[in-house]
Amino acid sequence: MATLNDIGVAAAINILTAFAFFLAFAMLRIQPVNDRVYFPKWYIKGLRSSPLVNGSAFASKFVNLDLRSYTRFLNWMPAALQMPEPELIDHAGLDSAVYLRIYLLGLKIFGPIALIAFTVTIPVNWSNNTLEHSGLTYSDIDKTSISNIPIGSHKFWTHLVLAYCFTFWTCYVLKREYEIVAAMRLHFLASDQRRPDQFTVLVRNVPPDPDESVTDLVQHFFLVNHPHHYLSHQLVYDANKLSELVNEKKKIQNWLDFYQNKYKRNPLKRPSLKTGFLGLWGNRVDAIDFYTSIVERLSRDICGEREKVNSNTKSIMPAAFVSFKTRWGAAVCAQTQQSRNPTTWLTEWAPEPRDVYWENLAIPFVFLTIRRLIAAVAFFFLTFFFMIPIAIVQSLANIESIEKALPFLKPIIEVKFIKSFIQGFLPGIALKIFLLLLPTILMMMSKFEGFISLSALERRSASRYYFFQFINVFFGSIITGTAFLQLNHFIHQSTSQIPKTIGVSIPMKATFFITYIMVDGWAGVAGEILRLKPLIIYHLKNSFLVKTEKDREEAMDPGTVGFNTGEPQIQLYFLLGLVYAVVTPILLPFITVFFALAYVVYRHQEYESAAAFWPDVHVRVVAALIVSQLLLMGLLSTKEASQSTPLLITLPVLTICFHRFCKGRYEPAFVRYPLQEAMMKDTLERAKEANLNLKGFLQNAYIHPVFKSADGSDSESESEWERSPALVATKRTSKRFTPMPSKDGGSLLSLDQVNDECLKP
């Protein structure tokens, strides 16, 4: 078992690692050659120019020669912490500000809880000698846990009272934060600039009609049912093959630009290359002619594919982006049922144009349920079979298991420092390595399921990542770790005593989670500020792959906060903190340090993430709270604390009631757009911009990118944005969906006549 000395060694290693990351960041960020890596958004906004072109000496373009700047290298920390929240929102967006509040939430919850737990719980737990006579394997850390309380002791009332206190405090902080974030979101929406998604709705599962095309059917439906607010629409095409051709052409065009620039620098020598694999073998040809021919071929293929998409009705999906004259009209459409048949004319808010994941719009709506079922089954097996590496990781935490499996390593393992390293550092980093590929796999599953926005993909992937960690990292580590740790005790006891042994051992797994928090939380978060991955990728690209200025801009892409991995990881720490707050409170300082460190780090970073993720944060913290209550209830039942256990049943009930209250009170601000806010925004906009050309603003917003850039120019002729006619012109003869005939088929009805006709049986 890991001792206090082992934990101390691990803490020292991780603190030194974190300090080294901070020191490296402070030095690297002031070097001119790294300027684009650490200030990417400033370049994108045009607020910063490269120091590489301004330095007088050659060395000054790569190394900061100003010695005074090295004396101020830690100035970024107070500057980041002192930035007011409104200024942070203006600079980095609401998403970044709200994401930061997750770490602030952790500090608010666990700071007071840690103080109370160390003042009350640890002395109560330590003042017993139960583990000394239990026959279980334990350490000094375990003596601070609830496992050290004698069976049937009245001291369990202390843990019961603290469970109530911690629950009420957590719920209070959650409510306050939900209230603040909801107000921030509504204020942001009220003051936000005009965006296409505020006026646009995505309509899916448009029912087929033998008499009309999809574009005529969409226009006809919305002119009849939203006559005063419908503005225009854009059809959705299956252009995935065209998109592949366009992307391939972009890559080839970059190579062509590279060799053309190379030839301009040295006109005396035409560049050449070998046509084989990676240019290592094959016939040597003129590079410019070679890539020019490929670009010309791809251009012909693109034109042919575009013509095929435009002429083939099978390329038109039964979906459209429908825009309205007002936000109020879009809100009414997005948040109401459009048809008597609830499975057709399905509407939802359109994602922001840059957030659209165009490939999944080509998936027929009827296949989505099947895809999600397949993904759910695949996720189940992934979660189940991942128990194997979790068990391997847990075996690393047990010195005895390693010595039995590899006896020749025993002399080395018994060295004091190496033993401390294995028990205090290796299990956490091994688990971290096993989890590296998981986010990529889960994101592939989310894409397969058919979500149509990048933010939805990230939120889906995040929810699965959290569930995976809940089952495998939390419960898996406890179950397999307990089995390894107490194997000898399991073998020599009756079956009826096994649940009691597990109940005692669960609090004692805090040692493993402490090492994991230090490795993943302390050193991992400190490593985030170094931006090691973007730093290496940028310099590799800049040295070997950057061929044009456009490539350089893409190489310094700031990326995102990685919501699909970052937020579930934070929630794991909430879960660990709440579960162990009562049973093994010595874990709490490590959790608190993580949230404080992460808050400092992400105050400096400039990321964007999903804007409406706070309800997910709230519900997962509530779930962690309920899990902690249920585990405490089970633990006390094994301790024969029959008088206190029934009182714990009330806590999950109260917590669920609290969640339902918050869900009804605050969640609508994150899933719906209040009509009052929409009308207010529309009224102010009409007063300020009476001659606003909204149609011009929305015209190209939701055209598939390949129609805009296939040949380097917008292709307005390919769009299906229609003028808003005063009358509804259709080719239909049937009245299956609307009773209004076209002008080609008879006289037009007035709006009142349409309403009367619709009410007829």
Q: Cα–Cα distances in Å, from 751 out to 151, 727, 739, 748, 754?
A: 78, 10, 11, 9, 5
More confident residue, 147 or 212: 212
Position 759 pLDDT exceeds 80? no
Whether 501 and 636 share a structural domain: yes
Tell me the average pLDDT across 5-34.
Answer: 72
Whether 591 and 648 share a structural domain: yes
> What per-residue confidence (pLDDT) applies to 713?
42
Which three-class secondary structure state does DSSP give residue 228?
A: coil
Pairing relation of β-strands 346-349 and 272-274?
unpaired
CA gap 461, 382 in Å, rounded: 14
> What per-residue confidence (pLDDT) applies to 709?
55
Position 712 pLDDT exceeds 50? no
Confidence of residue 172 (pLDDT cuts 50, 70, 90): very high
CA gap 323, 226 in Å, rounded: 11
Question: Do residues 588 and 581 make contact, with C-beta atoms less than 8 angstroms apart?
Answer: yes
Which three-class secondary structure state does DSSP give residue 689?
A: coil
First to last CA, the chain: 78
**Domain contains 315:** yes
Tell me the average pLDDT across 436-456.
Answer: 89
Range of the domain at 284: 209-351
Closest by Cα among 438, 443, 510 to 474 = 510
Position 502 pLDDT exceeds 70? no
Position 135 pLDDT exceeds 90? no
> What per-residue confidence (pLDDT) applies to 292?
92
Using the structure block, give the residue that is written with the tokens 């874990």: 587
Whether 371 and 346 share a structural domain: no
Residue 130 Cα to chain centre, angstroms = 44
**Domain contains 102:** yes
More confident residue, 59 or 608: 59
> What per-residue confidence (pLDDT) applies to 406?
67
CA gap 214, 327 in Å, rounded: 24
Burial class (CB in 10 A: 0-12, 13-18, 19+), 587: buried
Containing 323, the helix (H) or strand (E) segment is strand 316-324
Whether 97 and 224 share a structural domain: no
Residue 547 main-chain phi, psi, to 5 deg: -115, -25
Residue 286 main-chain phi, psi, to 5 deg: -70, 120
Contacts (Cβ under 8 Å, ≥6 apart) of 561: 96, 99, 602, 605, 607, 608, 609
Q: Which of 69-78, 169-178, 720-729, 743-752 has the lowest mean pLDDT?
A: 743-752
Using the structure block, give the residue that is written with the tokens 């003051």: 191
Position 485 pLDDT exceeds 80? no
Checking 332-338 for CB contacts under 8 A at 24+ apart, the result is 332/226, 332/229, 332/675, 333/201, 333/222, 333/226, 333/229, 334/201, 334/673, 335/672, 335/673, 338/203, 338/221, 338/225
Tell me the average pLDDT across 503-511.
Answer: 68
Position 687 pLDDT exceeds 70? yes
> Which pTM does this prediction carry?
0.76
Position 719 pLDDT exceeds 60? no
Position 261 pLDDT exceeds 90? no
Whether 226 and 189 share a structural domain: no
> What per-residue confidence (pLDDT) applies to 610?
37
Confidence of residue 8 (pLDDT cuts 50, 70, 90): low
Containing 175, the helix (H) or strand (E) segment is helix 156-191
What is the Rg, in whole angstroms, of the alpha carbon atoms belonging to the chain?
A: 31
Domain-terminating residue out of 614, 643, 671: 671
pLDDT digits (tens, 9 = 90+) for 367-390: 888 999 999 999 999 888 877 776
Secondary structure string (H, E, C) spanning 694-723? HHHHHCCCCCCHHHHHCCCCCCHHHCCCCC
Taking the C-alpha atoms of 99, 104, 106 and 112 in order, what is their torsion angle to the nearest 10 degrees?
Answer: -170
Whether 529 and 643 share a structural domain: yes
Position 752 pLDDT exceeds 50? no
Domain-terminating residue out of 649, 671, 693: 671
Residue 196 main-chain phi, psi, to 5 deg: -60, -35
Residue 506 main-chain phi, psi, to 5 deg: -55, -50
**Domain contains 701:** no
Whether 555 and 409 share a structural domain: yes
> What per-residue confidence (pLDDT) applies to 479?
66
More confident residue, 617 or 751: 617
Closest by Cα among 44, 21, 30, 89 to 603 = 89
Report the domain count for the chain. Answer: 2
Cite the DSSP H helix spans in 85-155: 85-92, 94-116, 122-126
Most confident of 30-34, 46-50, 618-622: 618-622
Residue 602 Cα to chain centre, angstroms = 15
> What per-residue confidence (pLDDT) applies to 722?
39
Whether 82 and 38 share a structural domain: yes
> What per-residue confidence (pLDDT) applies to 345?
92
> What per-residue confidence (pLDDT) applies to 654?
93
CA gap 52, 35 in Å, rounded: 9
Residue 431 Cα to chain centre, angstroms = 21
Whether 135 and 238 share a structural domain: no
Position 227 pLDDT exceeds 80? yes
Task: Give the CA angle between residues 292, 294, 300 to the nearest 5°.
Answer: 105
pLDDT digits (tens, 9 = 90+) for 546-573: 655 666 666 555 555 567 777 888 899 9
CA gap 419, 426 in Å, rounded: 10
Using the structure block, give the residue that is written with the tokens 């013509």: 307
Tell me the average pLDDT across 394-404.
Answer: 60
Contacts (Cβ under 8 Å, ≥6 apart) of 508: 1, 136, 138, 139, 142, 145, 147, 485, 584
Which residues lie across from 138 on neighbouring strands? none
For residue 286, give the DSSP letter.
Answer: E
Percent pLDDT > 70 in the chain is 68
More confident residue, 64 or 720: 64
Contacts (Cβ under 8 Å, ≥6 apart) of 269: 263
pLDDT digits (tens, 9 = 90+) for 289-329: 888 999 999 999 988 888 888 888 888 888 999 999 999 99
Domain-terminating residue out of 614, 648, 671: 671
> What per-residue confidence (pLDDT) applies to 165?
94
Contacts (Cβ under 8 Å, ≥6 apart) of 293: none
Q: Residue 45: how many CB atoms within 10 A of its CB?
A: 9
pLDDT digits (tens, 9 = 90+) for 581-630: 988 888 898 899 888 888 877 765 544 433 468 888 899 999 999 988 88
Cite the DSSP H helix spans in 584-715: 588-604, 614-638, 645-648, 650-665, 668-671, 675-688, 694-698, 705-709
Our separate counts of H helices and E strands in the chain read 39, 6
> What per-residue confidence (pLDDT) applies to 170?
95
Tell me the average pLDDT across 108-122.
Answer: 91
**Domain contains 676:** no
Whether 27 and 78 share a structural domain: yes
Which residues lie across from 323 on neighbouring strands? 200, 232
Most confident of 177-191, 278-292, 320-334, 415-429: 320-334
Whether 483 and 393 share a structural domain: yes
**Domain contains 433:** yes
Most confident of 50-54, 71-75, 93-97, 482-486: 93-97
Q: Supply 596's token pair.
A: 């404080």
pLDDT digits (tens, 9 = 90+) for 525-550: 776 666 666 677 666 666 655 655 66
Tell me the average pLDDT across 224-228.
Answer: 92
Tell me the average pLDDT across 511-517.
Answer: 81
Using the structure block, give the residue that is written with the tokens 């120091």: 51
pLDDT mean across residues, the chain? 76
Which three-class secondary structure state does DSSP give residue 380?
A: helix
> What per-residue confidence (pLDDT) applies to 424?
58
Whether 296 and 148 share a structural domain: no
Confidence of residue 184 (pLDDT cuts 50, 70, 90): confident
**Domain contains 215:** yes
**Domain contains 405:** yes
